[in-house]
Structure 1
Amino acid sequence: MKKKYRNQARNTNYSAYLHPRWWPTWAGVAVMWCVAQLPIRFQWWLGKYVGLLAWRFAGKRRHITEVNIKLCFPELNQAQQGALVRNAFIANGIGLLELGIAWFRDPAKLTDITEVHGKEHLDNALAEGNGVLLLGGHYSTLDLGGSLITEYIEADVMQRDHNNPLMNAVMTRARERRYETVLGARDLRGLFRSLRKNRTVWYAADQDYGRKDIVFAPFFGIATGTITATSRIAARSHCKVVPFSHFRRQGKPGYDIYFHPPLEPFPSGDDLKDATEINRIIEREIRRAPDQYLWMHRRFKTRPDKNDPGFYGDK
């Protein structure tokens, strides 16, 4: 089947990006490609120092990370929280370099250092014939983990477009090589079309998208704006929602991919109950490797009361 990109507003034809204004982006892409060819151990070493540079100089992102870690891990003392912040930047620095592997190399070469756990849960869910929402999260292995799973399953993916059109074209074309269909983040028609075909669709619901269509469900004990779209999609399509996660091993190069039993009963008819269960599972997976989550995102930006002071020094 010919692979498709369903957001036609984005131009993925490289010939559209020959003007000199795109040359700095092309230079960045070239650097990513070159780094991706290096041995993975060296990439991890280099990624560590990329992360440490960001930890030292990206003051705004460090502040957001510090706030998130303090909110989510109050049981840690100040020194432990500081160490987790530093390690989170290292993990995400490595993840940044792993983008090059996901986009420019064949992930099949990493299967000998990758282990898949619980794939039977996905197989059993697909056997029911209504498709699967693969409920992921924003871990530091985001693109590489997603690319690796296509060595073991067929999947489609929903993506939020990159703000830089050329970088978006590179990202989309790379994903088109791995996924059967690349869906825009708002392409619900395409999503339901994939589910009707009994496809597996990678989907994430763990970021703050504002006040529209959310409930405030606990996440690390904090009332957190959580989208209700997952429940609506499952109710309409009768698909199964299968949580999955992916992590980089500690110490030596390697990756673990986890598929978990489908959410049952889901949807329950209670959006808050459903969102609470989704957050509980994502929190559980984060605790496997707390440093490998995208703590740089303002996850708690939207507060239950609009007049509540923001956690990040804003409203």
Structure 2
Amino acid sequence: MTNPTDKKQSKGKVVESKPIKVKIICAIIGLFANMPEFIGRVFAWIFAQCSRLFKTRGYRTTITNLELCMPELDQKARKLLAYKSLKHTGRLFIEAAKIWRKCQGERYIGNIYGDAEVKASLAQGKGVLFTGSHIGNWEVALYYLGSNYTFHCMYRPPRQQEMDEVISSGRCQNSTAMVRGDSRGVMHLIKILKAGEVAAVLSDQEPGRGAGVFVPFCGKKALTMTLVQKIQQKSNANLFEIAAIKNANGQYDVHLKPLEIDQDLDELEYATEVNKCLEQTIRRYPEQYQWSYKRFKTTENGEPNPYR
């Protein structure tokens, strides 16, 4: 009997083929995409309640991150914020499915703030490099950019090769082009930014060792990528932060904010300034941040992993 999991090496990384697993995931995405909004809200509530009741890995990681980043909160406030964050994450599953499968990104977009500065930069022939964090709804942010600009987004491919196709097809409904986070992808982003186009790179993802520096992030040192600075230096693009933040009406207001950071700072100073900008947004809307991501897994000087 053959093993349904086929593995192959791709530039040092293991790429897996798991068609059955991906088919199940696709079926769940299809279910979420057709789910009425009120049932989606119930699902998010159940997801958060079960996470808290059974102390899932996501819940434990969320609590650990809040202990590290918001020590001023007492235990009751920390648990309440964890619940709100996980409830928001539950809604993201439904919303992402509707955007990927039903092309319903437009329905989630509310007000736009800061687009005049972006258009002014592009009118001068300068490319615009967006960065941001896992706050609000990243899928809505990508949909907005792809619907309004010639847009290229760098991403980290999933281990399952079939899932890569699902993600790419879901996000590439408009002008969006997904670019792999390898050396060829970096060169592509630099090229299109020099041509006066638009690109995006998430800054709060943990890079590999040698591709980042340890600087403060929400009060705790975190391995932070230097890639954004390198792309900006080589393309001379203007740097903006993007965040799609849920408003009282259930839509997402898209905030586009220019980041006035000297691209010639040394790596530590530049990464520190980027993290400060992201932290301001996170602390303003902490319940919409993905605290379940293991942001501090890689530690400095042999310090223990806080998630163990």
State TM-score, norm by structure 1: 0.84
Alignment of 1:106-145 (within 5 A): 106-107=103-104, 109-110=106-107, 114-145=110-141
Counterpart amino acid of residue 175 in structure 1: R
Quick check: 1:157–1:179 contact (8 Å CA) kept in 2?
no
Quick check: 2:146–2:176 contact (8 Å CA) kept in 1?
no
The match for 2:69 among 69, 72, 82 is 72
Quick check: 1:234–1:266 contact (8 Å CA) kept in 2?
no
Show the counterpart of 1:81.
Answer: 78
Show the counterpart of 2:14.
Answer: none
| Mapped pair 1:267 → 2:256 | no
Show the counterpart of 1:6.
Answer: none
Identity %: 24
Q: 1:157 Cα shift?
A: 1.0
- Secondary structure of 1:203's match? strand
Q: 1:219 Cα shift?
A: 1.4
- Secondary structure of 1:103's match? helix
Alignment of 1:33-44 (within 5 A): 33-44=30-41
| Mapped pair 1:218 → 2:216 | yes
Q: 1:151 Cα shift?
A: 3.2
Cα deviations across residues 24-73 of structure 1 (Å, max 9, x unaligned)? 53243133223213343432332232333334346322221111011111
Counterpart amino acid of residue 193 in structure 2: L
| Mapped pair 1:245 → 2:248 | no
Counterpart amino acid of residue 167 in structure 1: M
Show the counterpart of 1:172.
Answer: 168
Compared with structure 1, are the counterparts of its residues 171 and 108 closer, same or farther at alpha carbon in structure 2 (3 Å cutoff)?
closer
Please identify runs of 4+ aligned residues in structure 1 that moved more than 4 A.
none
Counterpart amino acid of residue 67 in structure 1: T
Distance 2:30 2:126 in 1: 38
Cα deviations across residues 250-275 of structure 1 (Å, max 9, x unaligned)? 4x4211110002x2243033211211
Specify every segment of 5 or more residues in structure 2 that has no aligned partner in the other structure, as ranges: 1-9, 11-16
Distance 1:141 1:265 in 2: 25
Quick check: 2:261–2:270 contact (8 Å CA) kept in 1?
no
Counterpart amino acid of residue 63 in structure 1: R
The match for 1:229 among 227, 230, 234 is 227
Show the counterpart of 2:7.
Answer: none
Quick check: 1:234–1:240 contact (8 Å CA) kept in 2?
yes
> How many residue pairs end up in the alignment?
291
Say what the alpha-carbon RMSD is for the aligned residues: 2.2
Compared with structure 1, are the counterparts of its residues 288 and 149 closer, same or farther at alpha carbon in structure 2 (3 Å cutoff)?
farther
Alignment of 1:37-56 (within 5 A): 37-56=34-53
Q: 1:280 Cα shift?
A: 0.7
| Mapped pair 1:158 → 2:154 | yes
| Mapped pair 1:309 → 2:304 | yes
Show the counterpart of 1:257.
Answer: 254
Quick check: 2:127–2:238 contact (8 Å CA) kept in 1?
yes
Show the counterpart of 1:202.
Answer: 200
Counterpart amino acid of residue 83 in structure 1: L
